[in-house]
Structure 1
Amino acid sequence: MNEKIQIIFGLLGGLAVFIYGMNMMSECLQKAAGDKMKSILALLTKNPLLGVLAGALTTAVLQSSSATTVMAIGFVSAGLMNLPQAISIIFGANIGTTMTAQIIAFKISDYIYVIIFIGFLISFVTKSEKVKSIGQTIFAFGLLFLGIETMGDVMKPLASSPVFTDLIGRVAHIPVLGVAVGTFMTLVVQSSSATIAVLQNFASQPGPDGVTSILGLAGAIPILLGDNIGTTITALLASIGQSKDAKRTAVAHCIFNISGCFLFIWFVKPFAALIQNISPKGPEIEAISRQIANAHTVFNITMTLIWVCLIKLMVKIVMTLIPDGKKGVEDPGSPIYLDENIISQPAAALQLVAKEIFRMSDQVGDILKKTIELVKNEEVKSIDGLKENGEQVERLGKCITEYLAALFSSGSLTEQQAAQTASLMCVLSDVERMGTLSVEMAECMLERSDRKYKYTPEAMDELQKSLKVLNKMFCDSLKALQGDDGIEPGKMMKRKDKLLDLDIKMRKAHIERVNKGKCKASLTAPFTNILHLIDRMGNSCINLADVVESGTSMKYFMLEEK
């Protein structure tokens, strides 16, 4: 094979192994961390410093600033956090992503295959899901370094090529060109960690003298700055079709990195000298990988310290660039919290699902109240509005179900998260059923009007009492799901018994009225149907209470806000 083609395929193959290893490590780390992700995200408060810490920790776990940024965009779009919180998260993500470069700077080429074997052995032998995830993380960690080693091996012939060294010399002496190269590389690869790894590996190749780096730290820093600009494209793509605040969050990410590039580009040589002084000493080709990692860390920490003090200014800038404009009409039947981009982060996606289910439960609560009013006032003109509300709930329930199905099929759920997802599907099913049965009851009242059924005042009073008990059961079951300690799920069963007693009394009273000639016998079937609907709705409320008693609280899925 031609040497040039062999170098190209070697670079592409090594890069593919590296990116695959990095993505696999990110996914397995997330599975191993499980619901600790929620604890990290719970650090979110109005304090920007804690937001920075949360962003840094989340990125350190996910090993991807893009994943954290996309998650923050999803949360701000869903209303789970405000714009300043999301911006502070992104500041922290830029610090957290430097961890990858620091890890790559370690020279562990002699232990790569040992690490791969140990990781494979742990994941192959163990039956525990968490331990298996740890083993796969170690295996992916080894693959990551195998990709780096492969790229390093094929880069060695390039160091002796006069044409290539001349090209690199131009890049090293023209910082703007270096920034353009770094930006383009990251735009193509869609991973700043991958392009920085390539940069570290390439800079470690010796120049013509065999001692100094072919690129040098001063030549590597502009490319590093370009890598930071290129990674913002992921956030911009994730914000397409999202809310105004989501777009502002993505723009804030761009401003952070672009402003940093404009600031540091004028001080490349002094900055390189500073990094060399604070980094381990030794031959340049051996120390430069760590120097690049340190430059990456110092750059992001410095810019974070600057912007975290100016976070209000950042908010004003992005608000000016993307003004509010006219608010569109919200479609009750369409989800406003679900975000397809963060399905790969189940800990975050489940929180959005919980938020959407609560939104749907509010709609169902309104339908139930309107049904009670319809029964009380015997006003059937509002039936068309109730039917439309029921259809909206049905459409929304379908969207949430499809989202949960996508979560299941993503393969990124742990056993615990799969159980939580199943619980959410049960909650969704019963809440949706409450809405459907409420509309059916309203239709029964419409049928009564059309056929000129006339229930006695006693029957209507008893019916209203049952509906009031039912409404109280539904409201309390939702409060219990939200983690209200004042609601005891055990009391729900007592209310169900009360509902059953009312049902029995109403059936007996109806038969007595028929026998006495106060009610027509033809009313028995429609009246019994209404009682059956109330009984089924009571069962759905009990099902919601059972979910709480089984240890699932919807509050568990929500971000803790102070």
Structure 2
Amino acid sequence: MDWSLLGATLGGIGLLLLGMHIMTDGLREAAGDALRGLLVRATGRPLRAVASGVLITGIVQSSSAVTVATIGFVNAGLLNLTQAIPVIYGSNVGTTATAWLVALVGFHIDVRLLALPMIGVGMLLRVFAGPRRIGAVGMALVGFGIFFTGIDTLRVAFADIGSQMPIAQLVSGGWLGLFVALGLGFALTLLMQSSSAALTIILTVAAGGMVALPSAAVMVIGANLGTTSTALIAVIGATPNARRAAAAHFAFNLGTGVVALLLLPLLLWLLSLVAESTGEGASAAAVLALFHTAFNVLGVLIFLPLTPRLVAFVSARFRTAEEDLARPQHLDGTLLHTPSLALDALARELERAAALSRGCLIDALQPDHAAERLAAREATVTRLVDSIGDYCQQLQQTSMSADSAMAMAEALQALRHIGETAASARTLSESAASLSELPAEAREAVSEFAIYARAQMQAPEDSESDREARYQASKAELLRADSRVPVRTAVRHLERLGVIRDGLRSALRARQHLEALPRQAIGAELSN
């Protein structure tokens, strides 16, 4: 190959990527925070979420940017999966705007008449307006101009390369050619991290006659699938929900690509007729732009009704240990028809929740506990308590015997105290009260009460009155040191002592209610 042609090709690709980068950044800066507000507000309903994905991607000209931003919102908790996944559908449709821009404008203009003036006007706006919104619009114009210059450079370079390299032979000839074309499209997007740039190259190659239309269409499918690489890279180390959103993106693009491959001959035939009827002629660029839009819209029509199932599928993946602990292991909706069996399952689930909440409180009483880990465990117990509470509500709506009703009351009392135990653990973890602030006697009294509380939770031996006496003794020792420590410091430690006392009481009362529960729960209905 002539080295000048290779240089022109690399230069054209560079101009293309530079133009896309400047254009996307300029449009995003010009839009400001309005796009973020639109994305968060317009996701209440699936169709609105899809429309917001289409609109925002069409504005910023980057489906990767919109997808990564959406995953970021999921990561931050601003969007849930049900809201985010339709936005990702829409972003795939929105990115087809680039193909239309290339097909309708890129090959039908004199670059010198449009691209260069756009660069000049855009830079003037940037220079005189500075970083304000109008300056951002100017940079977007500069990006468009460079983008079209890159298209023209590639078009000329590819026309000469096509006569020297039999590229068409690489992507034709049965299944092997199909996979090669698919891989080339995927690799282009992966390497350039821009499906829009990859599509532009594919359309340019097809328009120059270097690749047959069916092979170019398969490359478009590969480029569409390659878009998922950006999202998959972005979620490395992210939250499970963010990884689930990226997995849903991959599933959508993969499923859409499979459908497009299966319907490829039919779609190309129909879309060629449509292109001819609209006056565009059956040009390769126009047909490919139609094809790109058609199979993405078809994917939305297929996947949108399946979104709840897709959410359920990805929700079962990428689970953390905390999420697994938060899922009830014994509760079964089919047992609700036999309240005695449901109460037995409830008792076992409450035992598990009580053990988890006691573990949280015991760890919170450790002077060197890990606050973040403890907060995650406490949130796990809270979610489990909420799930058990929902189950209790369903169980209360069934017809129960008097014995089972009494057992249900015990279960609800146990559930309340389990929640209070976990809340005490959270309060202790969040409180900033260092024992080094206290005199030796008071420090020893507070420390000994924490050690005593841990021991009592693991193996309760004293009565409630004995535990109260130990609390009052520690409190008195702390009050005697009141004159030697600042008032706020003393108040913090007094409050901490009270939280320890209340948490210990809740943990042991939950244990008492659970000990009474099985004797009343089992066999009440079965004997009737």
The 1-side partners of 2:324 and 2:435 are apart by 27
Amino acid at match of 1:126: A
Alpha-carbon shift at residue 117 of structure 1 (Å): 0.6
Change (3 A) 1:255 1:527: closer
The 2-side partners of 1:138 and 1:39 are apart by 24
The 2-side partners of 1:439 and 1:34 are apart by 40
| Maintained 8 Å contact 1:58/1:93 | yes
Alpha-carbon shift at residue 288 of structure 1 (Å): 2.5
2:48 to 47, 50, 53: 50
Amino acid at match of 1:195: A
Alpha-carbon shift at residue 200 of structure 1 (Å): 1.0
Alpha-carbon shift at residue 524 of structure 1 (Å): 7.7
Any stretches of 5+ residues in structure 2 without a counterpart?
326-361, 375-427, 446-478, 493-528
The within-5 A match list for 1:27-426 is: 27-105=25-103, 106=105, 107-108=108-109, 109=111, 110-127=113-130, 129-161=132-164, 163-167=166-170, 170=173, 174-205=177-208, 213-279=209-275, 280-282=278-280, 287-319=283-315, 322=317, 324=319, 326-327=321-322
- SS state of the match for residue 327, structure 1? helix
| Maintained 8 Å contact 1:70/1:235 | yes
Alpha-carbon shift at residue 120 of structure 1 (Å): 0.8
| Maintained 8 Å contact 1:175/1:219 | yes
The 2-side partners of 1:383 and 1:325 are apart by 21
| Maintained 8 Å contact 2:115/2:149 | yes
| Maintained 8 Å contact 1:244/1:324 | yes
TM-score, normalising length: structure 1: 0.57
Q: Does 1:11 align with 2:9?
A: yes
- SS state of the match for residue 310, structure 1? helix
The 2-side partners of 1:392 and 1:175 are apart by 50
The 2-side partners of 1:126 and 1:324 are apart by 49
The within-5 A match list for 1:432-443 is: 439=432
The 2-side partners of 1:50 and 1:129 are apart by 30
The within-5 A match list for 1:514-529 is: 526-527=485-486
- SS state of the match for residue 78, structure 2? coil
Alpha-carbon shift at residue 529 of structure 1 (Å): 8.1
The 1-side partners of 2:187 and 2:234 are apart by 19
The 2-side partners of 1:172 and 1:121 are apart by 52
Change (3 A) 1:447 1:69: farther
**Larger Rg, first or second structure (1 or 2):** 2
Alpha-carbon shift at residue 525 of structure 1 (Å): 8.3
| Maintained 8 Å contact 1:181/1:223 | yes
Change (3 A) 1:303 1:450: closer
The 2-side partners of 1:153 and 1:185 are apart by 19
TM-score, normalising length: structure 2: 0.60
The 1-side partners of 2:198 and 2:224 are apart by 10
Alpha-carbon shift at residue 192 of structure 1 (Å): 1.2
Show CA shifts across 1:19-75 (max 9, x none).
Answer: 122122212211111121133113344421122122222222332111222222222
- SS state of the match for residue 439, structure 1? coil
- SS state of the match for residue 166, structure 2? helix
| Maintained 8 Å contact 2:23/2:144 | yes
The 2-side partners of 1:28 and 1:219 are apart by 34
The one of the two structures with greater contact order (alpha-carbon pairs below 8 A, sep at least 6) is 1
The 1-side partners of 2:20 and 2:293 are apart by 19
The 2-side partners of 1:448 and 1:128 are apart by 63
Change (3 A) 1:36 1:156: same
The 2-side partners of 1:392 and 1:268 are apart by 51
- SS state of the match for residue 10, structure 1? helix
The 1-side partners of 2:2 and 2:174 are apart by 21
Show CA shifts across 1:437-458 (max 9, x none).
Answer: 9737986566894699xxxxxx
Change (3 A) 1:134 1:446: farther
| Maintained 8 Å contact 2:40/2:79 | no
- SS state of the match for residue 93, structure 1? helix
Any stretches of 5+ residues in structure 1 without a counterpart?
206-212, 331-380, 394-434, 453-518, 534-562
Change (3 A) 1:444 1:98: same
Show CA shifts across 1:75-114 (max 9, x none).
Answer: 2233322222221111111111111222222133231101
Amino acid at match of 2:164: S
| Maintained 8 Å contact 2:71/2:245 | yes
Show CA shifts across 1:143-183 (max 9, x none).
Answer: 11111111112111123236345445548994343222212
The 2-side partners of 1:132 and 1:20 are apart by 18
Identical positions, percent: 28
The aligned counterpart of 2:342 is none
How many pairs are equivalent? Answer: 367
| Maintained 8 Å contact 2:30/2:136 | yes
Alpha-carbon shift at residue 135 of structure 1 (Å): 0.8
- SS state of the match for residue 321, structure 2? coil
Change (3 A) 1:160 1:178: same
Alpha-carbon shift at residue 240 of structure 1 (Å): 2.2
The 2-side partners of 1:444 and 1:164 are apart by 77
